[in-house]
Amino acid sequence: MKILANDGISALGQELLEKAGYTVITEKVNQEDLAKAVNENNIEMVLVRSATTVRKEVIDACPNLKLIGRGGVGMDNIDVAYAREKGLTVINTPASSSQSVAELVMGNLFSISRFLNDSFKNMETGDFSVLKKNYAKGVELRGKTLTIIGFGRIGQSLASYALGAGMDVVAVDSFIKEPITIEVQIGTKQTVKVEITPIASLEEGIKVADYISIHVPKQADGSAVITTKEFEIMKKGVRLVNAARGGVINETDLLAAIESGKVAAAALDVFDNEPNPRTDLLNNAKIATTPHIGAATLEAQDRIGSELADLIIGQFGKLN
């Protein structure tokens, strides 16, 4: 049985699958050639990350396809309901990348609090004394309020890190009604448990926030979660991070909020027009940007590959 891992798979995941008798193909196929490649090579399973989409037209064009796997959390690049309706197995790995995304967000919280992204770009060519003055008004995380919009696995992992850094955490989630116990790891041998009860009101959550991190899927109707309306509710000088999906923050409204001073700084790992983000975002000194690398750690890739292999072998068995 052939598997096309079109956006790659870790060496560990590939090894586990091949030991179980599967043939794993990792040569990248262009999106427009995906259906043709699947059919010509008798591929029965396609594994993707965020770069490749598997929509209705691909599913219809590939009658021998049995499984679509997403390495990561969000599956908005797959027509999941339609695939399942057609009898395909659709899997993802929601737990594998939570820590990696949470750590990237924490890195961004520190970065946009101390101008690290901008100072790094200017140190080599700028005047040291001028730069020192420009970057001398940073702020600390300890004692500040972080509002986490979307309190699933990633949001909860982020809460653990933020609590450990001395932040107060407000969770906004309309689906979770019960208190969530967050384990804050102290070193490698101790944990402290903190209980957080999410609130349903986005307005209440963002108006008290010094920092906001968004962890929700792309909205079904394509609308943004954060627009001018929400920016108007926030504190002046708020800082935002989006490591979820492009489009959940209206990018034009974000730029206007930065220009007005309502938003002091932002960090974006995801964009509306990936892989070609708008240049006014990339060139803005108050926006830290990364190329959708939230889950891109060596540890997360091993966890994702291993979990995909386990799910496939568990569903279809060993072939040798």
List, by residue number, the catalytic residues.
245, 274, 292
Residue of 15, 19, 72 lying closest to 292 (CA atoms): 72
Q: Are 245 and 217 in contact (CB under 8 A)?
A: yes
At position 103, the amino acid (one-letter code) is E
Phi-psi group of 282: left, alpha or beta (phi > 0 → left; psi -120 to 50 → alpha; rest → beta): alpha
Burial class (CB in 10 A: 0-12, 13-18, 19+), 295: buried
Gap between the terminal Cα atoms of the chain: 11
| Tokens standing for residue 135 | 């970057």
Backbone φ and ψ for 220, nearest 5 degrees, come out as -60, -35
- In the chain, helix, strand, coil percent, each to 5? 35, 20, 40
